[in-house]
Chain A
Amino acid sequence: MKADETVLPVSRGCNRRDLLAGVGVASILAFFSPSALWAQNNGGGLEQFAGRSATRNGKDYEPWRQSMIWQYRKSDRHPEIIIQANSIDDVCAAVKLAADLRKKITTRAGGHSMSACFLRDDGILLDVSRLQEVRLAPNGQEVIVGPGVIGRALNEYLRPHNLAVATAHCGMVPVSGFWLGGGVAWNGNAWGGMAVFNINGVDIVTADGELRHASSTENADLFWAVRGAGPGLFGVVVRFYVKCYPLPKSIQSTEYIYHLSDIVEVAKAVEEIGSQVADNVELLTIVAQASPEHAEKCHGVGCNQAVYVNAIVFGDSVGEAQEKLAPLHNHPIVQKAIGSHPMKQETFESLYTANERSFAQKRWQADNVMTDRADKIAELLLESVPNCPTDNNAAVLVYKGNPRFPDAAYGIIGKFYLAYYMVWDDAADDLAVAKYHVDYFKKAKKYSNGSYLNEFNQEGRPEDLPLCFTSDAWDKLKGLRRKWDPNSVFHNFYGQQ
């Protein structure tokens, strides 16, 4: 894990001869020999994963299954086999085993998918969380990262090198699923628009069990899919090669607080402000529980919630931040603020920590839309939030502006990203929360350009999943899937079989 370590040449192909012997012969046998048929039905070939696998009817299955899911709501789906990889060779072997046994496979990295989309009722679940390599490439501008790494660890590792990468807003979010599905990151507008566009290349195990490199110059069509197919990717990424940015010398944040009843005006104002600020100013408009002090000052419905407008400048100096925040401070909406915080120095760690404090590990559900109609979305929030069955609900409007992305599987854009999170304690509230949440998004859909897959409620409205892609991208993905996974070794998107 040292920066000066030379990068080993990527081994392409776990072992071609093994592969031929494995897939070629074994899959023929799988069809004709009684013992192979037995293996098909009983998880044969699993011996190589002794001690790090579990079968549905076997010992210790439930602990394995539950441990795959980060949150406390353990979705009621039961893959036939769960395998935990210790190495890239294990990943190759697991994919081959899936092909041999004619069982579909899905990948789990950090298990933070709030829909547990990796959890299916058949086939193999492959956990790659133990692959935690992190090293800086010799050119010092790219970091090489295993899929089991967590955002906080990565930026802490890069800090002494004065570098940073685009990570999620909570420090504990694993990078793997986050990047592959898109990634709404800190300083996202300046750093690629979506975090996935910082991936320069990947090492990926494809349906034939081969380890390949994919980048814009090598297996470019596969790379097209890597950048955004997320939970529908037909391959297992075992290494990411990711672009690093100079660590901002001065991260400054400031905040204005408003009554929920002013949210529509606030949303309109943020849109105006957003169009005037630089890309390295992140504007977050958050609807969350009001402090007792603010709740007291408020009259009418919705006083339990308040609207927090945060602006964070990822710059080089306090002076730069002051200058870049002028459109925020000078906007007339600030007259309506019921509270504010003067500018303060941040670090990635302080930003992570502040977010995580309000998002404890509990029962979770998320959904979102990319939208150009923040005002309408805000209207809906005003109408809905006071009726939410859990107090611990938070809506976040992230100003995204007008990004231009390279051609890739990820392609949904909108001036704003609205994510709405439900966090609650009691299983008895599951149904009420689920209903409220789906109802909100049935209405919000009207103002939506589509959704962002990683925080999309795949369990609640699977029929809308194609809306996470442009229709061209959706069609192209289908074609690429046929090419790269002709025998459907990998599970398709959740709910799309």
Chain B
Amino acid sequence: MAHQSKKGRQQRSIALLIIAASIAVTTGVVRANGNNVASASPAQKANDPLGTVQALYAAFETGNMEAVRSLIAPDATWTYYGPEAVLPFAGTRKGPAGVMDFFAKVSATLTDATASQREMLVSGDTVTVPGWEESTVKTTSGHYKVANVHIFKIRDNKIVRFEEYIDSGTVAESFAVADPARGKAYFTTCSGCHGPNGEGNADMHAPPISGVPSDYILRQLRNFRAGVRGKPDDFYGYQMVGRANALPGDLATRDLVSFIATLSGPADNTTRTHDATIAKGKTAYETCAVCHGAEGEGNGDIGAPPLRRLGAWYVRTQLANFRNGLRGSDPKDAFGAQMRAALGQVPEDHDAAISAYVATLSGK
């Protein structure tokens, strides 16, 4: 429920359209576009359901929780439908204190929340708002993006009833802890190229994936699943789009990553080169070392993966991908953009030498 994006509003869900359409047919609905939040001034009217709801979203967007609180009637009920045993914010709460508790639970458990309202359908004192929300569960790193419907009942410009209908099954799945046993099953999809122990296989153009921090692997798998990484011209990345999307969902992706975390063993070093370019690479690498570490150990705090187990062929390909925008140019790839910008400081004719040098790093 935090901010409105144009893209979100354009989202269409058949289920929601059906709900919206049926409301429109049965009640002769007044429609307002979620855009016109600014025009609201609830105080001027006796009961302005639309203005009240718009004010709520506006207050929420600016993080003004006092304003949110002021819009809740003392006897209000606030319901989020979902399994209460799993979702700390599910169930029915009462009054402003209850609503504040709801948001406290939300912010204690979720991070990176974004949401949008597609439209606001007004019927008498009721406002129905189809939209979507996206969030990450702090404890599990589970990520969801699901459609929802908010239904408000307004009395005297206060919310007396709020109900959120949401795909709570998917939300609940994001709270599930990843299970490496399940992940092992999914790993069958990976092992043909990355090897039975994730050691990588240069002959398959598949880098080692064991010994790589889980958050980096998870981020890359999600990038492949969303097409943020793996554009058709990045051919081996493109193949990963197919493989990553063979995973049935985000939980399966996390299961897999948790299994990969259990793998160890030497990386496939078959393509290591030890020639004169390495000395040149060592000097040029100093720029890279700022983020990736002097020994290629990586720095998780800034999203810089370790490089120490990678073959020269892989590093070379990725440098080229970053340079020509196949990686790091998608608006959803902030870490990639960071890398792309940093690479701008490095002359392109150093790439081969850097790649050769990286392949000699031992990294601890």
Contacts and interface: CB of A to CB of B under 8 A. Distances in A.
B80 interface: no
A299 interface: no
Contact of B189 (A67, A153, A157, A353): A67
A66 B248 contact: yes
B201 interface: yes
A153 B203 CA distance: 5
A215 interface: no
Interface in B145-199: 179, 181-182, 184-189, 191-193, 195-196
A129 B187 CA distance: 11
Contacts of A68: 188
Interface in A124-148: 127, 129-130, 132, 148
Interface in A344-390: 353, 356-357, 360-362
Contact of A157 (B203, B232, B235, B239): B203
Interface residues of A, number: 35
Nearest to B236: A353
B117 to A, nearest CB: 28
Contacts of B193: 150, 153, 172
Which of B181, B238, B243 is most buried by chain A, counting CB atoms within 10 A of its CB? Answer: B181
Contacts of B202: 156
B252 interface: yes
Given A63-B182, A356-B239, A129 B191 contact: yes
Contacts of B192: 110, 129, 132, 148, 150, 172, 174
A59 B196 CA distance: 22
Given A63-B182, A361-B242, A129 B188 contact: yes
B250 interface: no
B104 interface: no
Given A51-B184, A357-B232, A63 B255 contact: yes
Nearest to A108: B188
Which of B188, B191, B201, B203 is most buried by chain A, counting CB atoms within 10 A of its CB? Answer: B188
A52 B246 CA distance: 20
Contacts of A111: 188
A60 B186 CA distance: 10
B204 interface: yes
B239 A172 contact: yes
A494 interface: no
Contacts of B245: 72, 361
Contacts of A84: 188
Which of A60, A129, A154 is most buried by chain B, counting CB atoms within 10 A of its CB? Answer: A60
Interface residues of B, number: 31
Which of B201, B205, B235, B238 is most buried by chain A, counting CB atoms within 10 A of its CB? Answer: B201
A473 interface: no
Which of A127, A360, A362 is most buried by chain B, counting CB atoms within 10 A of its CB? Answer: A360
Given A52-B184, A157-B203, A361-B242, A130 B235 contact: no
B235 A63 contact: no
A72 B241 CA distance: 13
B78 to A, nearest CB: 36
Which of B186, B193, B204, B239 is most buried by chain A, counting CB atoms within 10 A of its CB? Answer: B204
B181 A51 contact: yes
B252 A63 contact: yes
Interface in A192-206: none
Interface string B94-129: 000000000000000000000000000000000000
Nearest to A52: B184
A415 interface: no
A59 B181 contact: yes
A307 interface: no
Which of A59, A67, A86, A156 is most buried by chain B, counting CB atoms within 10 A of its CB? Answer: A67
Contacts of A356: 235, 239
Contacts of A72: 245-246
Interface string B229-262: 0001001001101110110100010010000000
Contacts of B232: 357
A353 B232 CA distance: 11
23 contacts: A52-B184, A63-B186, A64-B185, A67-B185, A67-B186, A67-B187, A68-B188, A70-B189, A84-B188, A129-B192, A130-B191, A148-B196, A150-B193, A150-B204, A153-B193, A153-B201, A154-B203, A156-B203, A157-B203, A172-B192, A353-B235, A356-B239, A361-B245
Interface of A: 51-52, 54, 59-60, 63-64, 66-68, 70, 72, 84, 86, 110-111, 127, 129-130, 132, 148, 150, 152-154, 156-157, 172, 174, 353, 356-357, 360-362
Closest 6 CB pairs of A and B: A361-B242, A156-B203, A63-B185, A67-B188, A64-B185, A153-B203
Interface of B: 179, 181-182, 184-189, 191-193, 195-196, 201-205, 232, 235, 238-239, 241-243, 245-246, 248, 252, 255
